[in-house]
Structure 1
Amino acid sequence: MKTEIVNEQLLKMMSKPVLKRSIKVKDISNVCHISVVTPDRFWVSDWNNLILTDTSGETLQEVTDNATLTGPSVHTVTNAGKLLYIDIKGDVKIQTKSKTKVMLKRITNSLRPISLHYCAFNGDILLGFRESHTKANISYVGMVKRYNNIGKEIQTIQFDQKGEILFGDPRYLTKNCNGDIIVSDYNLNVVVVVDSRGKHRFSDLGPPSESGLRHILQPAGICTDALSHTLVVDTFTDTKQMIGKDGNFLSFLLSKPGSIHELYGLAYDYKTLLYVGRESSECTEIVSVYRYINRQNYFLTDT
């Protein structure tokens, strides 16, 4: 695609990531998920709280009817900076400065919405569901539904081409600029990638055996960058891994394997900045902001 070619010409991986800032978010203990509004404002949640904060770590706004206990990634932000979140009833709400309204009603009591993602490229909304399952060798069966920007359902993704279940516990969702939908599934220990039609492309099971780490993945936070790399936190090995657009393992980002601990939430913003959250109440600074991609054709001012 033309957009992809332009991105590859303008963007280049840096030799190593550069830490831009570290933030202690005062009313959050464990960072499960981050939704970036602007480079200096972002929504962040732990298992109990959802707040809007800035680079000082002060709480600017708080959501009191969120459903963070049902899943770690229950909020996202639109291109216009509006917050979308799953509330305690399982409805998806959209929040503006003046009001909050229901955008998507919960479908059934058995299907629990646990993850949410707004696609900046086309305005689609991805919603991950799970339900208890006793007829298979897994605890849960999951699915992903895609909606347009006014809340109309346009796609359900649940099975691969052979009729096998794709998801068990789709805790985190994202979409890259190629249109692929990428799911971090903690229950099945896998990152599942399907194309825009819902066709299974590949599943990533963790780092290669030659890395010296056990070949297993316990994926948590996930995001994609401007080069269509997938970044995923592996809570089993305490690493953040970079996967290519076709499923090939590229690198351990930020540090050597095993030297960064308790990573969990991830987010990537339009200024090629990566936000990394830690799941640890003992951390002095629990959100770190890095740059690891540079634009090549013009000077980009840091904020």
Structure 2
Amino acid sequence: MIEKMSEPSDEQVAMQHYLVCGTADCQKNGQFYCNACQRPLCEQCKAEHQKSPQNKKHEIVLYRHRKHQLPVEKCEDHPTRNVDMFCKECKIPLCSKCSIMEEHIGHKFDDLEEIFTEKYALQQHEFSKIQKYFLPTTQGLKTDIEEDATQIRKIMESIRTSMKAEAESLKNLVDEVTTENLENTHTMEKSLLKMLKSQETTYDDYITYLGKMSDEFQQHLSLANQKLIFSETLKIKTIPDTTRPVLPVFIPGQFKKDEVTKILGKVNVPDIKPEKRKIRPMEAVTTHMKSTEKQLEQSTEKSDMKQTLSLSSSVTKVREYSVPGVDSALHVSVDKSDRLWVSDSRGNLVQTDLQGKQLQKIQSSGYRDEGYHTATQDGDLIYTDIGKKVIYRITPDKKIIKFIKTGDWRPLSVHSSRINGDILVGMDRGKEAKVTRYSKAGKELQNIQRDNQGQGLYGYPHYITENINGDICTSDYYKHAVVVVNKSGQHRFSYTGWWSDLRPLGICTDVLGHILVCDYNSGTVHLLDQDGRFLSVILSSQQGIKHPHGVCVDEENNLYVGQYGTNTVTVYKYLQ
């Protein structure tokens, strides 16, 4: 019978807020892991461990990068031995005693732990591809199909409307022509009757003339008056000529159904080859599928940097900025030129250079204490206007462009993805709240509103950011939690504080996947790993922080902190 020993899964570990160091009598956070000793280490114990000559070749990595321990299985033939070898010829696992048995003499063996580590990494990589590429890409294609269906319905409705309008137009034209033709018949009738009346009058006059002539001839024929007999002979005028009217004839219109179709038009499907839906190519998972070569290179550099960066034992203040034009620094964005964008509660949004000189000032409507602006990889700044329900884009040449209209949803918080340039927006409408993903061109891609049980994920998405693994991290003031969903919108975890009720404000992530969030209640900044485990209070009153409200990390891994009640932005170093 095979006996197995197992370690906690990553999911189980992710449910813990604090991983204890594996060194005896040490209760500090074990954020590192010695693959050789197979135990977690805190930063101090890690340093001590590496000093020992016998541990010189030990590989120490971040806990989430650890090699997973080979599950212990007892050999069926030799119950006191563990299965730890793999016979390459027989292709079976076995123990060290089995390897010297007659049937395995001359065979080659591999370390089973190395094979397990390799297979585990491979499966983890494949699983990662499903989560980061295949699933979101397929869901994107499904969304594409739904959008096509919506577009077809709109197009066909538009065509039907156009056809009805065309038919109505033709009906009006037929009515107009018919009316003109009827009026023309009346005109013709009047003209012909007038002509006949004139002819009738001509003959009436001639009949009168004939009456007079008859009277004269009777006088001539009278014997009582002989003189008239010898008078000039009377001549009768000829009968006036008249013409018969040419009668109008109605010639029916000559038309067929095809001719009417030509007039009205018809719907045709173009005889062209259907275009294949674009399936974005799968990029290396370690680059998190960056959309351009430049982003790929930057991701590679960051990946290299991750191998050398770690949390510093202390936080160091680097510099301070006094930002003119604001009374508080409730949210901070840093653009590609290391220029600051800082906002206060009065809707003032100010850009300054490294010397604190004001470069731009924008006025947004309403009381604003959300993370309502974000710098993009293209050098633009995107900000939301809660009153107008519009998202604006400010270009490097200071042009303000109306970018996205959000309908009856109020755009509260916004973040521009460093992975692919997508725009993430936290919104609310009455008692509803959601996160919407837009493309960098402003096309709506995704709506995230409910969990798998149909419950609302958000109450008030105050601040929003994205982690290096594509997780969407939202600071929700009403939920008293940092709500984290994966790229597909599935709820991963909610962080509600370590020792007291959390009132989260500003939030950001760093190159190592840490989540940094301001807590209004304690006046501190918490540091979490990307699975929601509490690591430490990184900033507090000990570092001169009283009311932290907005946080941001730049490309050089500097931490910018803005506070309520002061226009000073302080910069710290916390990675080494």
* Category of TM-score, reference length = shorter chain: 0.7 to 0.9
Distance 2:455 2:368 in 1: 25
1:8, distance to aligned residue in structure 2 (A): 2.9
Give the secondary-structure state (helix, strand or coil) at the position aligned to 1:9: helix
1:77 is aligned to: 375
2:536 is aligned to: 251
1:28, distance to aligned residue in structure 2 (A): 1.3
Distance 1:122 1:11 in 2: 24
1:50, distance to aligned residue in structure 2 (A): 0.3
Give the secondary-structure state (helix, strand or coil) at the position aligned to 1:192: strand
1:90, distance to aligned residue in structure 2 (A): 1.5
1:254, distance to aligned residue in structure 2 (A): 2.9
Distance 2:418 2:546 in 1: 30
Structure 1 counterpart of 2:400, from 100, 103, 108: 100
* Structure 2: 5+ residue stretches without partners: 1-284, 289-302
Question: Which has the larger share of strand?
Answer: 1
Aligned residues of 1:222 and 1:267 also touching (Cα < 8 A) = yes
Pairing 1:158–2:449 present: yes
1:143 is aligned to: 434
Q: Report the residue type matching 1:286 in the other structure.
A: T
2:482 is aligned to: 191
Q: Report the residue type matching 2:557 in the other structure.
A: T
1:40, distance to aligned residue in structure 2 (A): 4.0
Aligned residues of 1:239 and 1:257 also touching (Cα < 8 A) = no
2:109 is aligned to: none
Distance 2:564 2:369 in 1: 14
Give the secondary-structure state (helix, strand or coil) at the position aligned to 1:8: helix
Distance 1:229 1:6 in 2: 17
Aligned residues of 1:118 and 1:126 also touching (Cα < 8 A) = yes
1:63 is aligned to: 362
Choose 33-42 or 187-196, whichever is displaced more.
33-42
Aligned residues of 1:193 and 1:203 also touching (Cα < 8 A) = yes
Give the secondary-structure state (helix, strand or coil) at the position aligned to 1:250: strand
Distance 2:355 2:344 in 1: 18
Q: Report the residue type matching 1:100 in the other structure.
A: I
Deviations 1:23-81 (A, max 9, x none): 111221111101101464110000120010123322111113x2462552111111122
1:170 is aligned to: 461
1:286, distance to aligned residue in structure 2 (A): 1.6
Pairing 1:290–2:575 present: no
Structure 1 counterpart of 2:351, from 41, 52, 60: 52
Aligned residues of 1:192 and 1:203 also touching (Cα < 8 A) = yes
Distance 2:445 2:305 in 1: 28
Distance 1:23 1:98 in 2: 22
Q: Report the residue type matching 2:339 in the other structure.
A: R
TM-score, normalization by structure 1: 0.85
Pairing 1:116–2:414 present: yes
Aligned residues of 1:237 and 1:257 also touching (Cα < 8 A) = no
Give the secondary-structure state (helix, strand or coil) at the position aligned to 1:196: coil
> Cα gap change, 1:179/1:114 in structure 2, threshold over 3 Å: closer, same or farther?
same
Structure 1 counterpart of 2:519, from 207, 214, 234: 234
* Structure 1: 5+ residue stretches without partners: 134-140, 210-214, 295-303
Give the secondary-structure state (helix, strand or coil) at the position aligned to 2:310: strand
Aligned residues of 2:552 and 2:561 also touching (Cα < 8 A) = yes
Paired residues, what number? 275
Percent identical: 39
Q: Report the residue type matching 2:490 in the other structure.
A: K
- The within-5 A match list for 1:122-137 is 122-133=420-431
Give the secondary-structure state (helix, strand or coil) at the position aligned to 1:56: coil
Distance 1:79 1:153 in 2: 19
> Cα gap change, 1:32/1:252 in structure 2, threshold over 3 Å: closer, same or farther?
same
Structure 2 counterpart of 1:274, from 554, 559, 571: 559
- The within-5 A match list for 1:215-230 is 215-230=500-515
Distance 1:20 1:39 in 2: 18
TM-score, normalization by structure 2: 0.46
1:202, distance to aligned residue in structure 2 (A): 0.1
Aligned residues of 1:16 and 1:254 also touching (Cα < 8 A) = no
Aligned residues of 2:330 and 2:369 also touching (Cα < 8 A) = no
Bigger CA radius of gyration: 2
